[in-house]
Amino acid sequence: MYNISVSPHIHSKESISRIMWDVVIALIPALLASIYFFGMRAFWMEVVTVIAAVLSEIFIKLLLKRKITISDGSAVVTGLLVAYNMPVGAPFYVPVVGAVFAIVIVKELFGGLGNNIFNPALAGRVFVMFAWLPEMTTWHAPLKSGWWQHGFNFFSAKLDAVTTATPLAVAKLQGLSNLVAQFSDKADMYWNLFIGNCGGCIGETSALALLIGALYLLKRKVIIPVIPVTYIATVFVVTYLAGADPVFHILAGGLMLGAFFMATDYVTTPITIKGMIIFGIGAGLMTVLLRLKGGLPEGVSFSILLMNTLSPLIDRYTAKRKIYGYKK
Amino acid sequence: MKIAEFTKGFIKENPIFVIMLGLCPTLAVSTKTVYGLGMGLATTVVLLGSNTIISLIKNFIPDKIRIPSYIVVIATFVTIVDYMLHAYVPPLHKALGIFIPLIVVNCIILGRAEAFASKNNVGDSILDALGIGLGFTLSLTILALIRELLGSGTITLKMLDYGWVWKIKGFKPLSIMILPPGAFITIGILMGIFNHFKMKAEGKK
């Protein structure tokens, strides 16, 4: 027996498809940045991954005899996010398997959109990361002179960049001063990390492009900034207290992508404000712990996935009763 | 003697995918096809021995100390299997390691002793042991085959100098499949498929 307050009810224009297509629009700046820094191969990787995600969703929906809901755009978002988490040099089967795993196993086998425990794109990334660790950890430096000087070959999927290490890996293994030495000074390093001119996954390097997308989502009220702000602030404060460079840690790696586009997934994060704050702080603490003390240089994916598992528990202890009506 | 006691172990009461017993060795040793097969057969031998003896002596075992009594019988056969493997197939013994002595506490064996052998005659108990044991061997081999194929790109059915190894050319193996997550993912999917067909079969009746 559910009690719902008496009419009139406010009718919202929100729907899954409006939200998902808004997220797709918000991801476009990062897509342009990925092409700008890593060339056409990044673009084709994104196209192939999105196609793989959509096709695998159609396939699994037919197999499980569920209604096909491709038009809601959730498979497109998952495919794009999986692609954004790939190094540009990865063979194309890596993001394809990641997208198929994300859609088929992480999303549909757990009951489809709304029932998945883990963020599909992140779980897909972690799966392929441990499946093909060498391919997933070989990084390429951005094209030094930009694609316009190489000649704009639309169909080119070849790599013409040199391998490098991500800023986080350099800072971890050789110390931050060695990383700063690669740039003219510290401010120059921050600026290059901010615009995305550094090695890393194709969609994560450009904090600027991701922030433009995030602003769009905030303006359209698709996301509220609680988790991203607490997450990034926690990373900033804890790295400062730990004696590391806080500005470097919020600009480097996948923090911006993770905080704005993955830790704000409606399904796998808490629904209450208090819960969101706990989620953001927890993810921030885990990220710093993994980055500074873990074996791998980056920890954003793992910390968000870990907090995903805690979300139902956080919701249980923070949910106010009587929000949407209550059970007698 | 009823033949149904033998056949139930494969689908209807499949120890791994339906009753979900013995998962610990299952997850640990299913990294190569031959290990899965070896572990399954070793367990089958122990199960056969323990079920036979326990159903023979069931009337002499006091009810209050039946579990320790079963364990003594099971441990005897596990020790025999352990020494036999060590003597004749040392590489398999080395690969399975601690999981051979741990057959003593494998739930499948104690479960069959408690639930079946202590209540039924010798003939049925032997059939039950063979059915459950071979059902376990089959499931474990399938699991190991899938994991090895995806995780190493090979199928190993070679022990000592017998058998063969088959390798896929040009396949980049997904190393996660031979790590623990690969075991959980594979077993989850296989369990789902098994239950799907089991429910379908029950629905038709």
Tens-place pLDDT, residues B11-61: 778 888 888 888 888 888 888 999 999 999 999 999 999 999 999 998 888
A109 interface with B at CB cutoff 8 Å:
yes
A65 interface with B at CB cutoff 8 Å:
no
Residue B204, pLDDT > 70, answer no
pLDDT given at position A29: 93
CA pair distance A224, A242, nearest whole angstrom: 29
In a domain, A171, yes or no: no
Task: Calculate the alpha carbon distances from B103 to A252, B16, B71 in Å.
Answer: 50, 15, 11
pLDDT given at position A154: 54
pTM for the model: 0.85
Query: From A123, which residue of chain B is nearest by alpha-carbon distance?
Result: B181
Ranking A155-164, B176-185, B193-202 by mean pLDDT, the lowest is A155-164
Please write the tens of the pLDDT for every residue from B63-84.
899 999 999 999 999 999 999 9
In a domain, A9, yes or no: no
Print the domain residue range for A89.
Answer: 16-138
Q: Is A113 left (phi over 0), alpha (psi -120 to 50) or beta?
A: beta
A133 and B175 within 8 Å at the Cβ level: the answer is yes
In a domain, A68, yes or no: yes
CA pair distance B106, B22, nearest whole angstrom: 6
pLDDT band for position B2 (cuts 50, 70, 90): confident
Residue B104, pLDDT > 80, answer yes
Q: Which two tokens stand for residue A63?
A: 């197999």
Token pair 């080395």 in the structure block, residue: B94
Which backbone phi and psi does B177 adopt, to 5 degrees? Answer: -70, -25
CA pair distance A273, A16, nearest whole angstrom: 21
In a domain, A304, yes or no: no
In a domain, A157, yes or no: no
Q: Would you say B54 and B113 are in contact if contact means Cβ atoms under 8 Å apart?
A: yes
pLDDT given at position A1: 45
Write out chain A residues lying below 8 Å of B176, CB-based. Answer: 127, 130-131
Write out chain B residues lying below 8 Å of A130, CB-based. Answer: 175-176, 179, 181
Task: Calculate the alpha carbon distances from B46 to A301, B34, B133 in Å.
Answer: 45, 18, 9
Residue B195, pLDDT > 90, answer no
Query: Which among A104, A98, A125, A128 has a CA at the least distance from the CA of A116?
Result: A104
Q: How many CB pairs under 8 A join A and B?
A: 24
3-state secondary structure of B181: helix
pLDDT given at position A31: 92
3-state secondary structure of B11: coil
A130 and B185 within 8 Å at the Cβ level: the answer is no
In a domain, A62, yes or no: yes
Q: What angle separates helix A120-131 from helix A93-100, to the nearest 10 degrees?
A: 130
Query: From B186, which residue of chain A is nearest by alpha-carbon distance?
Result: A105
Which H or E element spans position B165?
Answer: strand B162-167
In a domain, A53, yes or no: yes
Which backbone phi and psi does B163 adopt, to 5 degrees? Answer: 90, -170
Task: Calculate the alpha carbon distances from A167 to A96, A132, A294, B110 in Å.
Answer: 26, 21, 16, 55
Per-residue pLDDT of chain A in tens (328 residues, 90 and over written 9): 455 666 666 666 667 888 888 999 999 999 999 888 888 888 889 999 999 999 999 999 998 888 888 888 889 999 999 999 999 888 899 999 999 999 999 999 988 888 889 999 999 999 999 999 888 888 887 775 455 545 455 555 556 567 777 888 888 888 888 888 888 888 888 888 898 888 888 888 889 999 999 999 999 888 889 999 999 999 999 999 988 888 999 998 889 999 999 999 888 898 888 999 999 999 999 999 999 988 888 889 999 999 999 998 998 888 766 555 555 5
3-state secondary structure of A90: coil
Q: Best mutation site among A125, A128, A130 for testing chain B: the one with the most B CBs within 10 Å? A: A130
pLDDT given at position A159: 60
B185 interface with A at CB cutoff 8 Å:
yes
CA pair distance A27, A205, nearest whole angstrom: 13
A127 and B176 within 8 Å at the Cβ level: the answer is yes
B133 against B169, higher pLDDT: B133
B180 interface with A at CB cutoff 8 Å:
no
Nearest to B176 among A105, A131, A135 (CB): A131
pLDDT given at position B10: 81
pLDDT band for position B158 (cuts 50, 70, 90): confident
Q: What is the mean pLDDT of chain B?
A: 88
Write out chain B residues lying below 8 Å of A108, CB-based. Answer: none
The count of domains in chain A is: 1
Write out chain A residues lying below 8 Å of B192, CB-based. Answer: 109
In a domain, A253, yes or no: no
